[in-house]
Each structure stands twice: as C-alpha cells, then as structure tokens.
Structure 1
Amino acid sequence: MSEIVENDSRSNIVEFSVSEISMALKRTVEDAFGHVRVRGEISGYRGPHSSGHAYFALKDDRARIEAVIWKGTFSRLRFRPEEGMEVVATGRLTTYPGSSKYQIVIDNIEPAGAGALMALLEERKQRLAAEGLFDESRKRPLPFMPHVIGVVTSPTGAVIRDIIHRISDRFPVHVVVWPVRVQGETTGAEVSNAVAGFNSLGPLDAVPRPDVIIVARGGGSLEDLWGFNDEAVVRAVAASRIPVISAVGHETDWTLVDLAADRRAPTPTGAAEIAVPVKAELEAGLARLSARLKGAISRDTDRKRQAFRACARAMPSADQLLALPRRRFDETASRLSRALETSTQRKRTEFNGLRLSPAILHRRIGEARRREMQCADRLPVVFLGLVRNRRIRFDRDAARVSPTGTLRRLEAFRSRLQSAGIRADRCVDVHLRKDRTRLEQAARLAESLSYKAVLERGFAVIRNEDNVPMKRAAEVAAGSTLLSIEFADGRIKALAAGKSSVPSPNAGSKPKPVPGPKGGQGSLF
C-alpha cells in the first residue's frame, strides 16, 4: 500500500490495463462512427470463409481499412464483392482488441457508380459468352401458334395488362402468369425459379405447360434492371427447354437475359406480338387461299371438260368402230356354215367307204402278230448288246479306280495341298505384318494420348475412395474423404484437411425449388 501511495505522489496519470484501454477505444470508435459509408477498392477478397463470413480490405491510393461481412449479411447482399471492384460500403466501424486493429463491419455494399456496374456487367457478359450461353446455334425457333403462353413478371404492373390485352386482340390463347418481383434483391432468384418451374411442369399437372415463355419488365435504370443481369437468371433461361422471349425494358435497354433468350422483343407489347400471330390476318389469309383453291378447282374442271369434249370429237363414232368387226363376223359366219356342210359330207363319204369284214380283221391281226414275232427275235440280240456295253463301261471304271490311278490322284492332291499351304502361310505372314503395324501405331497413339505423359510434366491425378477421379474441389469433404494422389512415379494416400471456398461453376445452373408463399414467391394463377 505504501508503494501505491508513493507512485501516485509522483504522477497523477490514470493507469489502464490493456483490456480497459482496448475496450475504451472500441466504444469510442463505435460511438463516433456508428454508421458510415466508405468508398474504396476491394483488396484481398478470396470468397467467403468456411464459416460463411467474408474478410477483405478496402483501400485507395493512400490508406487501407480492414472489412468484414458477417454470414447473415452476406447472404442478403444484392451485389457480391469481387477482387478489384470499386464499391461504396455502408456499415459501422469497430476495433478488434485481439490484434489492435480497427475494421468496418459492412451491412450493405454496392458498386461505386454506373461505371462500375457496366464494368461488372461487361465482365459477366464475356465470362458467360465464353461458356457458349449466348451462341445463336443453341437458340430454338418459336412455335408458330402456341396454345399456352407463360409470362414471368409482376402481377400488379402495367406490363402484364399490356401483354394480355395485346394477346387478346391478336389471337386469344391461355396465358399463365408466374408472379415475381421485377426489382429488388430477390429478383434474380425469383425469375430463375419461375423459368425452372415452368420447365418442370408435366402433362398431368393442374397448371398447363406453356409452349413459350415471356420474361417481361417495364423500362428503368441500370440499377432497376440489374436483377435481370443475374447469373442465375441467365443460366436458367439458357437451360430452358421451352423457347423464351425476353422483353425487359424499352427498346434501348438491354440485359444479359436478352442475349441468352431465344428471341428478344423491344417491349413487352412487342413480345406479345412476336408470341402469337394475328387471328384476323390468318382468317383473311385462309379465306384468300380458300377462294384461290375454289377458283383453281373450277378452272381445272373446265379445262378437263373442254379437253374431254375435244377428245370426244376426235374419236370415231360407235358405228365406225364396229363396222369392220361386224363385217368380219358376218363373213366368218357365212364361211362357217359352208365349212360345216363340207366337213359333214366328207366324213359321210369316208364312213360309207369303210367296209368291215372277218377277212380284213384276220389279215390285220396276222400283220400285228408278225411284227410281234420280229420284235421277239430281235430282243435277245439287243439285250446281249446292252450287257456287252455295260461290261465295257464297268471295266473302264474299274481301271480308273485301280491303286495306281488312286496314287496318281493322291499325288496330285498332295501337290495342290502343299501349294495351298505355302500360299496360306504367306497370306498369314502378310496379315500378321499388317496387324503388327496397326498395333504399333495404336500403341504409339495410346501412349501419346495417355494421361501419364501429363503426370511427367508435374501434374497429379486425385481419386476418391472408389478410385474415381475428382474434378471439383467441392466434391471433397473436409477430414472425411480419403484421397489417392497419383504422381508420375507412384501413388500416395492423403486425407483432406479443409474444404475449398471456391463455388462450383455450375452452381448457378442448378434448378432451385420454387419457394412457397412464405418466401415471397407467390403462387401460380
């Protein structure tokens, strides 16, 4: 106690502990700078931490301040921070006593002016174009006469009334409206969910599946239309299996949705005109074509009738056509009667001249018996000659099948077989050489295309527990995935120590579930 009194007598400066002065500074800074707006360039941003918080710095040409965005605030941001982006951050200053640093806790962040927005928009446009989302080859033609049209827009604005009114005037069809917010932080998520929701409809659903989708909004500034430049909206429109018409803003406005859509309309009313034809014009065209068809049929009938009459006048009459056959028939009929009488008379004469008597019959029977005896006398001679000829042929065939002849034929067969064997061996050698050449070429090609040549240059292949190559860092679960890393000279086992913070490039293209009424999405009607 005496020492304390002696120290106080030497100085009247109040002593503070490190914690006391740190907390005092913290309260002073937070009270004096409870709500500030800071303009600067983002530096050291590497994406959100595994905890969900984002840590980076804001700087200008002379100073630097640390910044942090807590997890809950980061999920509600309209614009995501990016490295090198100039922004205006709104938040409060505080200190971190553990390292004697001061920092800004950001509640909201936005690009510094339209120039930054345009730079961000151009960068996003080039990146999505490099993925092929804006290629003309992937865009689909619109249906000529759709039965159902889906409209993604605000249900209370003038845009939906203009579209329905224009469609009713031109060609009344069934219109399904998916209500969304067309301005604000949730615009991108709601529009992408609406496009994905229309594509997920099936033939058995209560809401009919549209044949074409119109994404519409009225005109506005770049900030007002920024929700339609969202990457999720662009990917949803590009992945849509239903043709999409973009009608965002006025004719001079443009967004990334216009580039990804299958057709761009200058205004929402123009989108309705593109989606459906004019019913009155179709009816007039149909009536015109019907009149042309009737006139063509009438003219064709008249032309054929005139041709038939001309052919009828050129053809002879029935009497002229039948005159010559009738004359030939008459002449043939007259000759037939005379020929019948002549033939009958000749047959009668021959019958009358034919006399049958026993003597004539005996004479004919005797002549037949003599011819039979002559044939019986010649039969042994003919039989012996036939037997002699058969014996000669048999002896000749027996000589051909003798052992000597068989040996000669076997020698001839053996020589032919040997020559065939030589030719077969030569053919096999030729085929083997060809196959060996192709095999060597295939081996060289496989060696040049093998990934092992890439491993020799310092790369490695990472596989999971099932020996399946892993392409994305997002597939690795921290501390639970046993990895196999293959180098050029062998493999080693490894265990993942942390999870990458880089989001998957395809995360934006996943279909998101359509939120219910609590999410502010609204329902179909």
Structure 2
Amino acid sequence: MTDLAPNDSNAPPYSVSELAFALKRTLEDRYGFVRLRGELSKVTHHSNGHVYLTIKDDKSAIDGVVWKGNVRGLGVRPEHGLEVIVTGKITTYPAGSRYQIVIDSMEAAGVGALLAQLERLKAKLADEGLFAPERKKPLPSMPAVVGVITSPTGAVIRDILHRIRDRWPCQVLVWPCVVQGDAAAGQVSAAIRGFNAIEPGGPVPRPDILIVARGGGSVEDLWAFNDEGLARTVAEGTIPLISAVGHETDTTLIDFVSDRRAPTPTAAAEMATPVLAELRALISDFDRRLNRSGARLIEDRRTRLMGAARGLPRPDDILALAQQRFDIASGRLDAALHRNTSVHAQELLKVTARLTPDALRRQHATKADRLADLGARLNACGTRAPERARTHARLPVLWERLQSAGKRRLVRAEDQLANLDKLRQSLNPRRPMELGFALVRKADGTIIRSSAALALGDHVSLQFADGEREAVIGNEGPAPSSAPPARPAPAPPRPKPMPPKTDQGDLF
C-alpha cells in the first residue's frame, strides 16, 4: 500500500477567517455564561465609552471588554488593582487570534477590595481639595426651612421630624428617595441638585439647610454614599449640608465632603435646629441683665452728678455779684440821664438865644437887595439883544470845537492809561516768576538780594509762580562754563510822547 501525502487528503481546507469564526462560535457556545474572579489591570476608559481591561491572577491573565451600554450598570468602577467578580461570555477577536471575555456585570470580590477602592477615591478627592475645612459652609443658627433627603418609609424620617418639632418650629421639606442599592446615589444626587435649584421667594421655599440621612447597615448597604458623583454633587451645592448616614462608627465618603457630619439622624436634627425654650430663656436672661446694667448705669451717673454738684458753687452765690453790679449801674444811670438832659437843655438855650426877630429881618433885607440887583442886571441885558444874537450864531461852531477838544483829551488819557498799565506790569514782582525766576526768602521772610547774605545750611523758601518749596543752601561752587548768559532785565516801557499842542485856545 502506498502512503498518501497530507495534501492528498480528502478533507477540505479552511480559510483563516472560516477557522477564526468557527473557533469564536465554539467558545461562545461552550462558555456563553462565565463567572470569573481576578484582579483588574491595564484599565483603559476609551473616548467612545467602552472600557478595556485585563483580569489576572498569580499565573494567568485574560483580556476583557465592557461595552458602553453596560458601563453604567456595573456594581463598582473598574480601577487598576481592584479584585472583582465579573460575569460575561468568552469570545475571540478574530483579527488578533486571541480570546477575551465580554463583561456584563462586575462586583467587588470582598469588603477588603471595596475599602481599598474607597481609600483610593478618598485620596483622589482629598488631593482636589474637596475635604478642605476652608470650603465648608457655616450652618445657619435659626433656619426657617429644613430640607431632608431620606427614605419616606422608615424610622429615620420619623425621628428627625419628631426631634425638630420638639426643638424648633420650622417648615420641613422631605425629598423621598431610596438610600440603598445601585439607584441610591443617583437619586440622592438629584435631590441635592433639586433643592439647590429652588429660587428664593418662589412658590416652594428654598431650604436654609439640608440633611442627608440613613440608618445603620453593613459596608455594602452604605456603599451608595461612597459614590464619586454623589461626593462631587455635595461639594458643588450652595446650601449647607449635614451628613447623617449610619451610626457613630459608620463612615462614608459623603461625611468628608459635607459641611458637618452627624453620628445619627437624630443628632443631625439637633445640629440643624436650636432649642426654642433655651432661646427664650437666654433672651429673658439678657433682658434681666440689660435692666440691671441700665439701673447700675443710671445710679452711677446720679452719684457722679451729685458729687460734681457738691463741688459747684450755689446759683445765688454766682448771681449775687452780678446783681450788685446791676444795682450800682442802675443807680448811676438815673443820675446820668438827669445830667444829660440838663446839658442838652443848656445847649438849646444857647441856640435859641441867637434866634431873634432882628436876625430874621437882616437875612430878609439881604435877600431883597440881591433880588433887586438881579432884576436890574436883567433889564440891562435886554438892551444888548444884537450881541446875544451873534453869540447864539457862534454856538454850533463852539460846540464842534468843544467835542474835538474832548475827543483829543480822551485819546491822550487812554494813551497815558495804557502806558501806566505797561509800567505796572513791568514793575509787578510776580512777572519774573512767570518767566521762570524764583523769589528767595529766609526763614523769617526776608527777601534775599545777594548770595553773600546766605550761609551754608541756611533754610530758605523758593517762591515760584505756582507755589513755594523749601530748600537748604549747599556748598558753593563755580558756575558751569556752559551755562547760558543771564538775560538782562527788560527795561520798563517808555511812555508815549504827548501830542503837540495846537493853537486851539481855551473855550473856558
């Protein structure tokens, strides 16, 4: 019998693609549902939303992928070094001849892994400054509206309402949401954003403070409050927030970001509200202390006033001397009025002695003589009528000459006034200072006219056109040769010569 070569076999040959996809179908049929436990490494969050990673143990490793639609439903956020349990199917990547697991769900492998993930997230947020004390907002002392974010069914909301009702009468707004499970972080974040979005003065009152509350539980039960998105939402809020998640020993990520952490929900209600009875007692105490302080102040002022009054003289003693001076002055005033009346009466008698009928007759006779003389002169003028006519004919000519002479005199007066003004400006002591010169005075105000009048170290004042400056005389030295020569002082303007007199004559 003759041996047949392999290429002579009757088996049909596979193409590379046929073999690759045949292996892919075989793996998917055989390992369509697989739970795999291992440590995550090489975690890559792609820009299209998919997550590529590697799951390994101490001996082997397998590639994995989480498609974009399944990323939000994962129980934990994929991070390097996290030990997880994933569920999915085994498939191949034909283009690279390698197999991988397509992950549908992911959960932490244990409490230790969850805590390790929490510590890494806590360190990341701390580096960003979300836990800094300076960014925490102070709580209002007397809130009018308190917002509570918790489950509407349970003992937590009843404890908070009961405690607030006993302590402080205010309005309480409850935003119901689940506080456990995958949907808890999203609902609590939405409630915080909703309360912060309420505008002041709107139909729904804006809370002055928020309380996020939940009862105690295991680490897995409280894990929703370790969500990174919830922590960032709390940090971005503008309303002060109190975290009351779990009991005294329970600590979640929201406790570090919130403005105040309460050990229990009841303690959160006590932190958010004051005690009305205590405030009333405090106000009453303040009122009593204010009344006592006012009474002590008034009594102290009364005592000081009485002490000062004992050191002051009596009003009668102060007025006695003035009263005495007034009595003396009033007595002298009566006698002075009588003497003044007598003196004026004597002066009146002296004047009336000169007012006699003979003096009046003499004045009358003198006036009559002057009147008769004027009448005689008027009669004499009546006989010189032609001469008066000639005089009237010359009046227009005389009037023109008078106007010409007056204008010339006014021109000469204006020229003299202009010359005097120029002379005044040239003699003005402030004009040289407007040209850049300064007036030097000693400390006593004496004007310095020579450098010999100054000594080294003397204090002088330099008066310029726009103000004064103080200076001290320094060392003497030769004037620099490059200095420009001093300009001579401008000579006072000469007055204009008077116009020559014309042989006009004098009209007067």
Give SS of 1:195's match. Answer: helix
Query: Given residue 184 of structure 1, which amino acid in structure 2 is its aligned partner?
Result: G
Please state if 1:43 is matched with 2:31: no
Distance 1:68 1:414, change over 3 A: closer
Distance 1:151 1:396, change over 3 A: closer
Please state if 1:347 is matched with 2:344: yes
Name the residue aligned to 1:329.
326
Query: Given residue 79 of structure 1, which amino acid in structure 2 is its aligned partner?
Result: V
Please state if 1:86 is matched with 2:83: yes
Name the residue aligned to 1:189.
186
> Distance between the aligned counterparts of 1:302 and 1:84, measured in 2?
79
Name the residue aligned to 1:60.
57
Distance 1:357 1:58, change over 3 A: closer
Give SS of 1:178's match. Answer: strand
Per the TM alignment, residue 40 of structure 1 is displaced from its structure 2 partner at its CA by: 0.7
Aligned-pair Cα RMSD in Å: 4.1
| Paired residues of 1:195 and 1:237 also in contact (CA < 8 A) | yes
Indicate which of 176, 179, 185 corresponds to 1:179. 176
Indicate which of 133, 141, 145 corresponds to 1:144. 141
Give SS of 1:290's match. Answer: helix
**Please, what TM-score do these two structures have when normalized by structure 2?**
0.63
Report matched runs for 1:336-375 at 5 Å: 336-354=333-351, 355-356=353-354
Please state if 1:229 is matched with 2:226: yes
| Paired residues of 1:245 and 1:263 also in contact (CA < 8 A) | yes
Query: Given residue 256 of structure 1, which amino acid in structure 2 is its aligned partner?
Result: L
Name the residue aligned to 2:237.
240
Query: Given residue 44 of structure 2, which amino acid in structure 1 is its aligned partner?
Result: R
Distance 1:340 1:61, change over 3 A: same
Comparing 317-326 and 286-295, the one that deviates more: 317-326
Please state if 1:126 is matched with 2:123: yes
Distance 1:329 1:234, change over 3 A: same
| Paired residues of 1:49 and 1:55 also in contact (CA < 8 A) | no
Per the TM alignment, residue 301 of structure 1 is displaced from its structure 2 partner at its CA by: 3.2
Distance 1:414 1:275, change over 3 A: closer
Per the TM alignment, residue 205 of structure 1 is displaced from its structure 2 partner at its CA by: 3.3
Per the TM alignment, residue 20 of structure 1 is displaced from its structure 2 partner at its CA by: 9.7
Please state if 1:210 is matched with 2:246: no
Query: Given residue 283 of structure 1, which amino acid in structure 2 is its aligned partner?
Result: R
Per the TM alignment, residue 352 of structure 1 is displaced from its structure 2 partner at its CA by: 2.1
Q: What's the CA shift string for 1:163-220, capped at 9, x where partnerless?
A: 1111112112111111121111112211111111111001243321111111111222
- Consecutive unaligned residues of structure 2, counting only runs of 5 or more, are 364-408, 424-430, 438-481, 484-508
Distance 1:217 1:395, change over 3 A: closer
Name the residue aligned to 2:166.
169
> Distance between the aligned counterparts of 1:72 and 1:314, measured in 2?
97
Name the residue aligned to 2:273.
276
Query: Given residue 242 of structure 1, which amino acid in structure 2 is its aligned partner?
Result: I
> Distance between the aligned counterparts of 1:137 and 1:117, measured in 2?
29
| Paired residues of 2:93 and 2:99 also in contact (CA < 8 A) | yes
Distance 1:396 1:189, change over 3 A: closer
Distance 1:360 1:136, change over 3 A: farther
Q: What's the CA shift string for 1:222-253, capped at 9, x where partnerless?
A: 22211111111111111111111111121222
Indicate which of 71, 76, 80 corresponds to 1:74. 71
> Distance between the aligned counterparts of 1:345 and 1:190, measured in 2?
116
Per the TM alignment, residue 97 of structure 1 is displaced from its structure 2 partner at its CA by: 7.2
> Distance between the aligned counterparts of 2:298 and 2:213, measured in 1?
54
Structure with the largest fraction of helix:
1
Give SS of 2:88's match. Answer: strand
Per the TM alignment, residue 320 of structure 1 is displaced from its structure 2 partner at its CA by: 4.0
Comparing 248-257 and 13-22, the one that deviates more: 13-22
Distance 1:341 1:96, change over 3 A: closer
Give SS of 2:172's match. Answer: strand
Per the TM alignment, residue 71 of structure 1 is displaced from its structure 2 partner at its CA by: 3.7
Per the TM alignment, residue 284 of structure 1 is displaced from its structure 2 partner at its CA by: 0.7
| Paired residues of 2:125 and 2:131 also in contact (CA < 8 A) | yes
Give SS of 1:134's match. Answer: coil
Q: What's the CA shift string for 1:262-317, capped at 9, x where partnerless?
A: 11112211111111111111111111111111222233334444455555666555
| Paired residues of 2:75 and 2:108 also in contact (CA < 8 A) | no
Q: What's the CA shift string for 1:132-190, capped at 9, x where partnerless?
A: 11111111111111111111111112211111111112112111111121111112211
Distance 1:98 1:306, change over 3 A: closer
| Paired residues of 2:83 and 2:113 also in contact (CA < 8 A) | yes
| Paired residues of 1:247 and 1:265 also in contact (CA < 8 A) | yes
Give SS of 1:327's match. Answer: helix
Instruction: Report which of the two structures shows the higher radius of gyration computed on alpha carbons.
Output: 2
Distance 1:90 1:153, change over 3 A: same
Distance 1:119 1:414, change over 3 A: closer
Distance 1:206 1:78, change over 3 A: farther
Aligned pairs, number: 374
Per the TM alignment, residue 35 of structure 1 is displaced from its structure 2 partner at its CA by: 4.4
Per the TM alignment, residue 45 of structure 1 is displaced from its structure 2 partner at its CA by: 2.8
Give SS of 2:141's match. Answer: coil
Give SS of 2:254's match. Answer: helix
Higher relative contact order (CA 8 A, sep 6+): 1
| Paired residues of 2:262 and 2:268 also in contact (CA < 8 A) | yes
Query: Given residue 60 of structure 2, which amino acid in structure 1 is its aligned partner?
Result: A
Distance 1:20 1:350, change over 3 A: closer
> Distance between the aligned counterparts of 2:348 and 2:94, measured in 1?
156
Report matched runs for 1:476-515 at 5 Å: none
Q: What's the CA shift string for 1:471-510, capped at 9, x where partnerless?
A: xxxxxxxxxxxxxxxxxxxxxxxxxxxxxxxxxxxxxxxx
Distance 1:154 1:310, change over 3 A: same
Give SS of 1:45's match. Answer: strand
Name the residue aligned to 2:470.
none
